[in-house]
Amino acid sequence: MYAAAVRTRYGARPCLLASAMAERSPMTTDEFEVRQRLVRVAQGHEDADLLIRDARVVNVLTREVYAADVAVAGGRIAAVGGGYRAARTLDARGAFLAPGFVDAHIHIESTMLTPARFAQVVRPHGTTGVVAEPHELVNVLGLDGLHWMLQAGRGSGVRVFASLPSCVPASAFERGGAALTPEDVRAGLAVPGVLGLAEMMNYPGVLGLDEGVWGILREAGGRRDGHAAGLGGRELQAYAAAGIHSDHEAVTPQEALERLRAGLWLMVREGSAARNLEALLPVLRGDHTGGRVPRRAMLVSDDVGVDELLALGHLDRLMRTCVAGGMHPADALALVTCNPAEYWGLHDMGVVAPGHHADLVLLEDLRDFRVLESLVGGEPLGTQAVTPRLAGGRVDLGAGWDTVSLAVPVHWPVIGVRPDQIVTDRLPAPDAAAQDGGGQGMDGPLTRLVVADRYGRGEVAACWAHGIGLTRGAVALSVLHDAHHVIVAGADEASIRAAGRALEAMGGGVVVHDGQRITAQLPLPFAGLMTDDAPLSAARDAEGITAAMHALGSGLPYPITTLSFLGLSVIPSLKLTPAGLLDVDAWTLVDREAAPA
């Protein structure tokens, strides 16, 4: 009955995996031999390696569910049917067998875990593949960071692909540890495992025909991810016309529809600091299109913390939200299986069908998506891979940190921090009494925000922020998208300086400082961005940071993630960089001198 109902509603509308962009290349010797073996196994001439028996296969191409066995050989599916034999048997006992879940856009560094530790967290939730966007590492270490991410991803327990960062630095208003030229982009796109160009955040450069931005676009002949925060109308049309293929910055149904109508793939983001799924769910359900679900849509997490992954899950959690909101399970599954596979040209993933990688998930149901088993290449998650050493990426605040002025220009507007979004508001400058009182005023306390160059160049800028809520002490992070300078939020200058030095001595991470002591810390020895500690240990440290900040007056639910976006120069409206306060909407630094009356 279930399968018939699905067929009636969806017919055989396919989720095609063909991609005109993919380059054709000969089979390797290993693949050639595996393919020939698959032919023999599928015809019953040879036993499979693994037989998954008595499964209810979820076919995301035809939106059907039907009983079948699945034969696996050489890490790939040989056949879906009955009557096969194998060396090993996995009895599904009637559970649902679906393709493994694929996150089409995630920054592994934002989980604060190395790829091997990340895999330990997400595999039990059904994630078998990710397209990582390592622009955090690349901003710190250049192309060495890209190579390390792919190397660390091999054998981690999930398939780790990468998109090549397009904006290093994110804009002309940022200077990190590296800068990618068009020549670097050409070299990076040729690296095995790199699927295309990552999010083109510098949309002013795209629209203004900036020579450097277009030099990068010219080198990217395949997939080009987008990042069009706040764009609409003619600007969005122009952005799509530049050859951009997707966007994950829609925050309203109107923005989502406009992107779909412009031919862009809609990546619906649900991360720790930017939660857009609930607002965009009506579009995914087809409420605005007569019940017809959008053809080009995916669910992505973008930036999500380890504590949230452990507590709530990964892509399984997003599908639960979709189904609870009235979306059909088959449509929800397509958003994390065949759709991302098609978008990225991963022809052998995202479907339970012959010839595809045996990246599979056994599910107890299609409502809560409780995972019973997850397989990559037909194998369960093994022991943790050895994480390769990562050189470089130290934190250096310079000798002047202890004496540099942390004064805020009296006329500067205030950054309005939103607890569940990465966009900020532009609030009016506080009156003199509020500034003289150490930041008390407006609707709640003001917090002094300081961003300092971490690469030893000595640049420092300070402003006021509203919405952080600190009434004493300070918190310092070496995670600040995308250049990853040091950001310190504090109630007084002494605490700010002490927290910065403590972070530097630790080698990067997150430090909460109260009075004369450190009350919580999260060391991130891998470029000041990641740890190879056990995920539970990292999550406890992250929760300790949150608790320590709450004790200092902050009410931010995920303070690490929220604070880490207050320097990203391509997200409206105000952001702080070492060079000063940036008005993203006007695309200019706010003048340090007040305009004459």
pLDDT digit string (tens) for 491-509?
999 999 999 999 999 999 9
pLDDT band of residue 444 (cuts 50, 70, 90) is: confident
CB 128 within 8 A of CB 341: no
Q: What is the mean pLDDT of residues 20-34?
A: 75
Q: What is the mean pLDDT of residues 363-383?
A: 95
pLDDT band of residue 440 (cuts 50, 70, 90) is: low
- The pLDDT value given to residue 217: 97
Q: Look up residue 254 and give its two tokens.
A: 């109107």
Number of H helices, E strands in the chain: 19, 26
* Helical packing angle, 277-285 and 315-324, nearest 10°: 60
* β-strand pairing of 414-417 with 460-466: parallel
Q: Look up residue 221 and give its two tokens.
A: 């002949």
Q: Look up residue 118 and give its two tokens.
A: 């990340």
- In angstroms, the CA 445 to CA 210 distance is 40
- The pLDDT value given to residue 1: 34
- The pLDDT value given to residue 147: 98
- The pLDDT value given to residue 434: 64
For residue 370, which amino acid is it?
A: R
First to last CA, the chain: 75
415 contact partners, CB below 8 Å, separation of at least 6 = 424, 425, 426, 427, 449, 463, 464, 465, 466, 566, 574, 575, 576, 581
Whether residue 432 has pLDDT greater than 50: yes
Whether residue 331 has pLDDT greater than 60: yes
Categorise residue 458: left if φ over 0, alpha if ψ from -120 to 50, beta otherwise.
left
**What is the tens place of the pLDDT at every residue in 518-549?**
999 999 999 999 999 999 999 999 999 999 99
- In angstroms, the CA 149 to CA 160 distance is 8
- In angstroms, the CA 326 to CA 320 distance is 10
- The pLDDT value given to residue 105: 98
Q: What is the mean pLDDT of residues 373-388?
A: 91
The per-residue pLDDT of the chain, averaged, comes to 92
Note the Cα 72 to chain centre separation in Å.
Answer: 31
The closest of 572, 571, 539 to 558, measured between CA atoms, is 539
- In angstroms, the CA 219 to CA 590 distance is 34
Q: Name residue, tokens 């605040």.
A: 397
- The pLDDT value given to residue 3: 37
- In angstroms, the CA 102 to CA 28 distance is 25
Q: What are phi and psi of 448, to 5 degrees?
A: -75, 130
473 C-beta neighbours (distance < 10 Å), count: 25
| Structure letter (DSSP) for residue 119 | H
* Side-chain-side CA neighbours of residue 174 (13 Å): 32
pLDDT band of residue 24 (cuts 50, 70, 90) is: low
Note the Cα 295 to chain centre separation in Å.
Answer: 22
- The pLDDT value given to residue 200: 96
What's the Cα-to-Cα distance from 6 to each of 12, 65, 297, rounded to whole Å? 10, 8, 20
Higher pLDDT, 545 or 595: 545
Q: What is the mean pLDDT of residues 159-173?
A: 95
pLDDT band of residue 5 (cuts 50, 70, 90) is: very low
Angle value at C-alpha 309, between 539 and 420, nearest 5 degrees:
95
- The pLDDT value given to residue 449: 98
Instruction: Return the SS3 of 203.
Output: helix
The closest of 473, 486, 492, 481 to 547, measured between CA atoms, is 473
Q: Name residue, tokens 């002309």.
A: 172
pLDDT band of residue 389 (cuts 50, 70, 90) is: very high
Give me the residues paired with residue 450 across strands: 462, 488
- In angstroms, the CA 376 to CA 360 distance is 7
What's the Cα-to-Cα distance from 280 to each of 3, 147, 161, rounded to whole Å? 28, 35, 27
Q: What is the mean pLDDT of residues 311-331?
A: 96
| Structure letter (DSSP) for residue 298 | E
287 contact partners, CB below 8 Å, separation of at least 6 = none
Comparing 241-250, 265-274, 477-486, which segment has the lowest mean pLDDT? 265-274
CB 70 within 8 A of CB 360: yes
Q: Name residue, tokens 């208003």.
A: 173
Whether residue 435 has pLDDT greater than 90: no
Whether residue 373 has pLDDT greater than 60: yes
**What is the tens place of the pLDDT at every residue in 259-291?**
999 999 999 999 877 889 999 999 999 999 998
